[in-house]
Amino acid sequence: MSNWVRAHTNIALIKYWGKENETLIIPKNNSLSLTLDAFYTDTKVTFDKHLTKDELILDGKEQDDSALSKVQRVLEEVRKMADLHLYARVESINHVPTAAGLASSASGLAALAGAASHAAGLDLSDKDLSKLARIGSGSASRSIFGGFAEWVKGHDHDSSYAVPVDDAQWDIGMLFIIVNDAVKEVSSRDGMKRTVETSPFYDGWLKSLDTDLKEIKIAISERDVEKVGRIAERNALKMHATTLGADPPFTYWTAESMTAMNAVRELRKQGYTAYFTMDAGPNVKIICRQSQLSDIKNKLSSMFKEGQLIEAKPGPGLHLID
């Protein structure tokens, strides 16, 4: 039994940045995200007795061992749960640039968790799917759910998973400014590890999180886009500040990211609800009202090319496709 499974990317408004346990991927802090309709991954898994090893074919190309190793963490767990002793062929198509700070690991590993468990004949709960996706990539735990989801950090494999917070069926959206979709130099995995181990700013980041998380949950319950954006922007800036204190220091920002951030500040001066967030890459995402997405896109069209600006609305959770 093997089917294509689709998972959408999610963008964190309260970032996950640092692991308590690197093997199990238990985070240092809770994080909260919005799943989006514009970017997603489709994956199919086939367990096959003729295979002599696991295979990962991403966008038609066989992948090297480093990409395969994340995937194998999930496959191993599925084989254990289903008492299955067969290798797997994983075919995946990213409708999102890979490794560019646009959360391909979130949609990719969440789709894999769904497809592998389905192919093995397991009928997992959302909670168990979230745990399974998490051991492939932390942020993937949140892509099991549509709308807003919170990854509760927990303390071991059984207690660390995401939960749905709100379906986001209200006037919130995100405009992506793609300044560069090339593969980044420092992966999120390496970047957060270096920051935890060496940045003196890391403790300050951790201390500030309870307030951000508490306030954003209130803002979401009040459907207050302005407040959600304000908290998300300050949270992202704090996360990126930690990387400057790392040894060796690094940043995901480029000159184009700064230009995009300034454009968002300018939009605010003009009265738009517009706040930015950024992940482990140079691209900038604007949190705004869904009803103002095309207006804001038009405003930015003199600075960025048509293909650089992508409108996104809240997206669905993991699901099977034909």
Q: What x-and-dash track marks residues 188-227 binding ligand DP6 by CB under 6 A?
A: xx--------------------------------------
CA distances from 253 to 132, 241, 258, 260, 289 (A): 31, 11, 7, 10, 25
Among ligand DP6, ligand ADP, none, partner that 92 touches (CB below 5 to 8 angstroms by kind): ligand ADP
Determine, following the binding rule CB under 6 A, whether residue 233 of this chain makes contact with ligand DP6.
Answer: no
Determine, following the binding rule CB under 6 A, whether residue 191 of this chain makes contact with ligand ADP.
Answer: no
Choices 8-16, 86-94, 167-175, 301-309 (CB under 6 A): range interacting with ligand DP6: 8-16
Among ligand DP6, ligand ADP, none, partner that 12 touches (CB below 5 to 8 angstroms by kind): ligand DP6
What residues form DSSP beta bridges with 161?
Answer: 152
Q: Which two tokens stand for residue 69?
A: 């190793």
Determine, following the binding rule CB under 6 A, whether residue 231 of this chain makes contact with ligand ADP.
Answer: no
In degrees and rounded to multiples of 5, residue 263 shows phi and psi of -65, -35
Choices 14-22, 221-229, 240-248, 263-271 (CB under 6 A): range interacting with ligand DP6: 14-22
Instruction: Find the binding residues for ligand ADP in span 31-60 (CB under 6 A).
Output: 41, 58
Q: Which two tokens stand for residue 286?
A: 């604007």
4 vs 17, which CB is nearer to ligand DP6? 17
Residue in 45, 99, 196, 286 binding ligand ADP, rule: CB under 6 A? 99
Burial class of residue 20 (count of CB atoms within 10 Å of its CB; 0-12, 13-18, 19+): middle
Reported residue count of the chain is 322
Determine, following the binding rule CB under 6 A, whether residue 105 of this chain makes contact with ligand ADP.
Answer: yes
63 vs 139, which CB is nearer to ligand DP6? 139
Determine, following the binding rule CB under 6 A, whether residue 180 of this chain makes contact with ligand ADP.
Answer: no
H, E, C per residue of 198-240: HCCCHHHHHHCHHHHHHHHHHHHHCCCHHHHHHHHHHHHHHHH
Give 124-128's long-range contacts (Cβ < 8 A, gap of 24+). 126/164, 126/317, 126/318, 127/161, 127/163
Among ligand DP6, ligand ADP, none, partner that 299 touches (CB below 5 to 8 angstroms by kind): none
Among ligand DP6, ligand ADP, none, partner that 127 touches (CB below 5 to 8 angstroms by kind): none
The owner of tokens 């735990």 is 141
The answer to whether residues 141 and 161 touch, using CB atoms and an 8 Å cutoff, is yes
Instruction: Find the binding residues for ligand DP6 in span 15-44 (CB under 6 A).
Output: 15-17, 25, 31
Q: Which two tokens stand for residue 267?
A: 């939009």
Contact partners, residue 189, CB within 8 Å, separation at least 6: none
Cα–Cα dist 13/11, whole Å: 6
Determine, following the binding rule CB under 6 A, whether residue 27 of this chain makes contact with ligand ADP.
Answer: no
Residues within the interface to ligand ADP (CB under 6 A): 41, 58, 67, 70-71, 92, 94, 98-105, 108-109, 112, 187-188, 280-281
Residues within the interface to ligand DP6 (CB under 6 A): 12, 15-17, 25, 31, 105, 137-139, 188-189, 279-280
